[in-house]
A and B are shown apart, each in its own frame.
Chain A
Amino acid sequence: MKTTFKNVYIAMLIAIGLVLHIIESTIPVPISLPGAKLGLANITSLLTVVIYGPITALIVSVVRATLGGIIAGGVSSIPYSLSGAVLSTIVMWLAYKGLYPRLSLIGVSVLGAAAHNIAQLFTASLILSNVGLFTYLPVLLIIGTITGYFIGLVSNLTVKTLKFNIDKQQARGRKLL
């Protein structure tokens, strides 16, 4: 019974991430920027890192990336989104754990976006056995930094409200964490 609330929260985070993933894939990109995206679903990974720590965050992002790939991106896109989700979650957790008071979630999110881009390009160059793909990394990093900034901004605001709600629930004797 104690963990039921936590399970519900995790299920909700996965569901929200999945919806954001699908919404994002329906937004058309007018110019050719392969791999460039908003990373809306990264909000849930970042929030899970902050609230529940690395293991739960990995579960949330892996399940979200796999289901999102099946539903929205096509099966061939799963290796890329999976590797990106795993590495960015690990990097975000390390950045949050090591640098949090000095970095806000904006910095954590920008680092996560960079990790996501590097992991995706690494997977792509493994699959195509073509190292030349990394010439595309600077373009991805610029876009990742800009979108990562906004994702961090959203996460900063969300975490405050979410922590307040969780504290309120726990004050009523419900175990959420």
Chain B
Amino acid sequence: MTVGDKMIVICMLFISLTSMFIINTFFYGTAGTSVIIEVNGELYAQYNFNEITSTKYIEIQTQYGYNKVEIEKNRVRVVEADCPDKLDVLAGWISRANQMIVCLPNRMVVKIVGKNTEIDGVSY
């Protein structure tokens, strides 16, 4: 392993850990207000967390495939999928604004939108 190798490995790890921290702190908010389901880049359905009283199941059957999404009061997950690797099911619950679950083979995206942070504004 040469000096150049070490520099590249350290740079890559530094860049990715820093940007991971930045995304986690500033891009993901605390709580979302609604769930958006997109298929092939187009809006498929939108649900407001305020209107969810009991656990809700949504079945998404499109030409790309089948997914079943479970929505609770403030979180959402994919429970069933017909894609080969089931990575979207493994992803588990998401609850923070701007987080998303993606099923690439079925071209489906489940994402949460809402305010970015709990703090509305800071003044000095």
Contact in complex: B16, A142 (CB < 8 Å): yes
Q: Which of B1, B9, B40, B85 contacts A145 (CB 8 A)?
A: B9
Across the interface, name the chain A residue whose C-beta is closest to B101: A32
What are 25 contact pairs spanning A and B, CB under 8 A? A32-B90, A33-B87, A34-B87, A34-B104, A73-B84, A74-B105, A76-B104, A77-B104, A80-B104, A103-B2, A107-B8, A110-B8, A114-B12, A127-B41, A127-B104, A127-B107, A130-B38, A130-B100, A133-B102, A135-B27, A135-B98, A139-B20, A141-B12, A145-B13, A149-B9
> Which residues of A lie under 8 Å from residue B104 when comparing CB positions?
34, 76-77, 80, 124, 127-128
Contact in complex: B9, A128 (CB < 8 Å): no
| Interface residue B4 (Cβ < 8 Å from any Cβ of A) | yes
Contact in complex: B105, A110 (CB < 8 Å): no
| Interface residue B23 (Cβ < 8 Å from any Cβ of A) | yes
7 further interface pairs, Cβ-Cβ under 8 Å (given A102-B4, A103-B4): A32-B91, A34-B87, A74-B105, A99-B4, A110-B12, A133-B100, A145-B12
> Which residues of A lie under 8 Å from residue B88 when comparing CB positions?
32
Q: Which of A34, A99, A106, A110 contacts B102 (CB 8 A)?
A: A34
Q: Given the complex of chains A and B, what is the CA–CA distance between A134 and B9 in angstroms?
A: 21
| Interface residue A31 (Cβ < 8 Å from any Cβ of B) | yes
Query: Which A residues contact B (CB, under 8 angstroms)?
Result: 31-34, 73-74, 76-77, 80, 99, 102-104, 106-107, 110-111, 114, 124, 127-130, 132-133, 135, 137-139, 141-142, 144-145, 149, 152
- Majority SS of interface residues in chain A? helix
Across the interface, name the chain A residue whose C-beta is closest to B22: A138
Query: Which B residues contact A (CB, under 8 angstroms)?
Result: 1-5, 8-9, 12-13, 15-17, 19-20, 23, 27, 38, 40-41, 84-85, 87-88, 90-92, 98, 100, 102, 104-105, 107, 109, 111
> Which residues of B lie under 8 Å from residue A144 when comparing CB positions?
12
> Which residues of B lie under 8 Å from residue A77 when comparing CB positions?
104-105
Q: Given the complex of chains A and B, what is the CA–CA distance between A22 and B84 in angstroms?
A: 14
> Which residues of A lie under 8 Å from residue B1 when comparing CB positions?
104, 106
Q: Given the complex of chains A and B, what is the CA–CA distance between A131 and B6 in angstroms?
A: 31
> Which residues of B lie under 8 Å from residue A141 when comparing CB positions?
12, 15-16
